[in-house]
Structure 1
Amino acid sequence: MSSLNIHQQVFGLSLASNMLTAGKGTEAELQGQLNLELQRTISNQIGNWTVVWGPRVWKSEPNDADSGPDRVWYIAHNPFARFGDRIHNTYVLAIAATADHSKENLAINTTVDKVVDFNGWVEAGITTAPEEASSVDQTKPYIAYGTAAGISTLLTVPSPAGQTIIDFLATIPPTSRLIFTGHSLGGTLSPTVALALLRAGLLKNAPGNVFAYPTAGLSPGNGPFATLFAENFPLISDGPVAYQAWNGNIANTNDVIPHLWDIDTLNAIPTLYGTLPPFLNTVARVIVNCLINAANSSGLLYVPLQGRTFSTAAPDTPQTLSELFQTITQEHIAAYELFIATPSITLLHERASSMEQAKNLPVLQGLYKAHLEGNETAEKLDKEGA
């Protein structure tokens, strides 16, 4: 029996979906690597969980050997998962975060200027390709087009064995528990796909047995969507520590990523780590203004999903681009592993530097570009700490 509580185990399964996050290779190469290592890693580090669907590695350009995975997801099963003092037959669908070398992931994260009518899509059939809404009714739930496109892949691409997750979920006992989880991009997709499947009537499980456990997710949609999610997935506090909750985004207050795409929280980003040096402050404000313009051009007001927050010790104020990259990646990744206290999952490829990782975080892409283009002021800051 694992010494980890159920939330730590679920977060560990979420982390395991990211074993390829730093990798490059064709779809077949990456698929083969994960097939060999995923189950072994889960058994050694998390507990009595068995991979029963997938894993599935998907790339929009499957033969491109110089890019990473665009989507990774799998389902694990534990017939004796302990929830407090009770045992439940449990399935977990884990969805990977943004990979270091995936342009497609960046597009999904940042395509918020176009939106999809969530109810209309569900009614039309969520296995059909999402369509951009031609107009917006502020009283109805909408999600970002990028989020909908990401979900479409999860729902329609089969496992290597030829079975979609919809087909598989139709076979599990209706009395079992089902948890949707993921970090960052996975923290945006996992609660949204859970709600889509539930509203489409494709889950046999009783609503009280279906949970979401997103971490560090971005806001997927507007206020009516956040309300619809809360109505179908009430927030459940399951212990005294912030991570011990179901159906809410677990977010570090010092992590910039959960600040997307709500306008108020976006505006808070430039001062999140104290008063930045003038150049960094100017660039941060320019980037945030671009993000705000993208969100506003959607015609929506993006609203975060319900959740619980925690705070790490206040980091030192970054003085250079390098320090800013390091702080943001630390607060977005390692801080969660430390707080939830789940064993670190060994990656199958060496992780890129914090600067390389930064290029796939939407809030950092402008900073990363400035660094690569050799902006003289940026270089001066890096060298002199000015």
Structure 2
Amino acid sequence: MSYNIHQQVFALSAASNILSACKGTQQALQSKLNSALQPAITNAGIGDWTVVWGPQVWKSNSASATTGPDRVWYIARNPSASFGDVSYDTYVLAVAGTAQGSLENISIDAYVNRVVDFNDWVETGITNPPEQATTVDQAKPYVAYGTATGISTLLTVGNAAKQTIIDFLATIPPTSRLIFTGHSLGGALSPTVALALLKAGLLKNAPGNVFTYPTAGPSPGNGPFAALFASAFPLISDGPASYQMWNGNLANTLDIVPLAWGIDSLRSIPTLYGKLPFIPAVIVGAIVNGAIDRATESGLGYVSLQGQTFSGATPTTPQTVKAFIQIALREHTLAYASLIGAPLVPPLCKPASSTEQARGLPILGGLYQAHLEAMEMERLDKEGE
């Protein structure tokens, strides 16, 4: 079967997440990914893609064997990728989303209440650690501190040969095409790192040969940041289907994650799947209110990046928090795969439960924790009878 360029890029994005449910030390996870990534891409049957940088696994606590990877990213190349009628030497930088056992990724979500002045960071050097802004000028572009720290890792951590992506991208011919992609957290990090590299003058391919293809990403920053991104990466419609575009976030209207972190969009979450029963409504409402408080504390008005949306069939209203999580996870993962029609790239490890994939995701991570606590209370009640 032949896959179009968007399906190929989405499959490469999916391949960055094959460690998502795995736990282990950084060294163990790195070894596992080194062995599995290229075969996974080859077996997907998406064309002549070869891993040319990385893959790189990074953990804030590299020695921990009980947590998952905090960051995974790699670059693949196809010397003749078809973009309709024309083929290009093409590189894809794929950034993984939230791993289920990553504590650092949970903290990224928590840090939407702190912000970084994007222009100041670029001007002082994006290889320097981002610094939290002490004041906010609403006319300037800002990104969440968590997002900035996430892309700082992508920019400064080198591969086994100590070569960073900045070093590698400097070797790409200007005539080659370069695509930044990622899903979920990767859907926020990949367009942001692309813009940071572009504004820092580190992409000699820019502007005509550089594209972004984020999917299901939460908003990385405020309105001026979204406007800056749109001016640097104009939205390109590239086919009849909603997923056939460049430089815009592809978002399912029934997916909770892209609704973070705009206040109005967050407020729509409790009734997204219909009117919930009383107890689930209280729990979902409380988690959402906490997210709204964090976003408000930032002093920003978070605004989603430009893009396209799609909608599937409206799900049956969930009657429990667990059912709410399961629907939300389906809308965050399988709905995109179904729309795009890319080949599935199987994970290397299976999650412990059907709801564990929610760990670390915006809103859903809090609901997952509430679900676990409710189960524990139920167990203790039964023991006390």
TM-score when normalising by structure 2: 0.96
Deviation at 1:334, TM superposition (A): 1.0
What is the CA–CA distance in structure 2 between the aligned matches of 1:375 and 1:161, rounded to whole Å?
47
Name the structure 2 match of 1:35. 34
What's 2:363 paired with?
363
Please list the CA deviations of residues 187-225 of structure 1 after superposition, one character each: whole Å capped at 9, or x if unmatched: 000000000000000001030110000000000000000
Once the 2 structures are TM-superposed, how far is the Cα of residue 110 of structure 1 from its aligned partner? 2.7
Matched-pair contact (CA < 8 Å) for 1:100–1:352: no
* Cα separation, 2, equivalents of 1:311 and 1:82: 28
CA distance in 1, matches of 2:370, 2:66: 23
Q: What is the CA–CA distance in structure 2 between the aligned matches of 1:129 and 1:82, rounded to whole Å?
A: 38
Q: Deviations over 1:313-353 (max 9, x none)?
A: 11111011221111011110111111111111111111332
Letter in 2 for 1:262: G
Q: What is the letter of the counterpart of residue 106 of structure 2? A: L
What letter is aligned with 1:208? G
Q: What residue in structure 2 maps to residue 384 of structure 1? A: none
SS at match of 1:373: helix
2:254 aligned partner, one-letter code: N
Residue in structure 2 matched with residue 21 of structure 1 by the alignment: 20
Tell me which residue corresponds to 2:195. 195
Offset at residue 377 of structure 1 (A): 8.6
**Secondary structure, aligned partner of 1:39:** helix
Matched residue SS, 2:333: helix
| Residue pairs, 1:54-93, within 5 angstroms | 54-93=54-93
Give the Å deviation of 1:91. 0.3
**Deviations 1:355-376, CA, capped at 9 Å, x for gaps:** 2222322202332222222368
- Give me the whole-angstrom Cα distance separating, in 2, the residues matched to 1:242 and 1:300: 29
Alpha-carbon displacement from aligned partner over 1:278-304 (angstroms, at most 9, x marks no partner): 111111111111111100000000000
Question: Do residues 133 (structure 1) and 133 (structure 2) align?
Answer: yes
Residue 329 (structure 1) aligns with: 329
Question: Residues of 2 paired with 1:365 and 1:172: CA distance?
Answer: 38
- Per the TM alignment, residue 109 of structure 1 is displaced from its structure 2 partner at its CA by 2.4
* TM-score, scaled relative to structure 1: 0.96
Contact 2:198 2:206 survives alignment (8 Å): no
Q: Distance in 2 between matches of 1:377 and 1:273?
A: 26
CA distance in 2 between partners of 1:184 and 1:269 (Å): 17
- The code of the aligned residue for 1:325 comes to I
Map 1:152-231; keep pairs closer than 5 Å. 152-231=152-231
Deviation digits for residues 83-127 of structure 1 (CA, Å, limit 9, x no counterpart) = 011101100000001001001011112310000000000000000
Q: What is the rounded CA distance, in whole Å, between the counterparts of 1:366 and 1:159 in structure 2?
A: 33
SS at match of 1:109: helix
Counterpart code for 2:39 = R
User: Mind listing any 5+ residue stretches in structure 1 that lack a counterpart?
Assistant: 380-386
- For 2:206 and 2:303, the matched residues in 1 are separated by 27
1:114·1:133 contact (CA, 8 Å) conserved in 2? Answer: yes
1:8 is aligned to 7
CA distance in 2, matches of 1:378, 1:307: 43
Other-structure match for 1:234: 234
CA–CA separation in structure 2 for the residues paired with 1:348 and 1:372: 25
- Taking every aligned residue pair, what percent have the same amino acid on both sides? 64
The residue aligned with 2:285 is: 285
User: How far does the alpha carbon of each residue in 1:4-29 deviate from its partner, in whole angstroms, 9 at most, with x for none?
Assistant: 00000000000000010000111111
Cross-structure match for 2:382: none
Say if 1:27 and 1:58, in contact at 8 Å, map to a contact too. Answer: yes
Most deviating of 265-274 and 358-367: 358-367
Distance, in Å, in 2 between the alignment partners of 1:307 and 1:352 is 34
- Conserved in 1, the CA contact under 8 Å of 2:322 and 2:371? no
Aligned to 2:110: 110
C-alpha deviation, 1:160, in angstroms: 1.4
Deviations 1:171-193 (A, max 9, x none): 00011100000000000000000
SS at match of 1:354: coil
Give SS of 2:374's match. Answer: coil
Tell me if the contact between 1:72 and 1:96 (Cα under 8 Å) persists in the aligned partners: yes
Question: In the alignment, residue 326 of structure 1 is paired with which amino acid?
Answer: Q
- For the 8 Å contact 1:325–1:354, the answer to whether it is kept is no
* 2:303 corresponds to: 303
CA positional deviation for 1:148 = 0.1
| Distance (whole Å) between structure 2 residues aligned to residue 75 and residue 217 of structure 1 | 20
Contact 1:117 1:133 in 2 (8 A): yes
Q: Please give the root-mean-square deviation of Cα atoms over the aligned residues, in Å.
A: 1.4
Q: More displaced, 280-289 or 13-22?
A: 280-289
The change in CA–CA distance for 1:329 and 1:103 in structure 2 (over 3 A counts) is same
Conservation of the 8 A alpha-carbon contact between 1:252 and 1:331: yes
8 Å contact 1:370–1:378 — kept in the other structure?
no
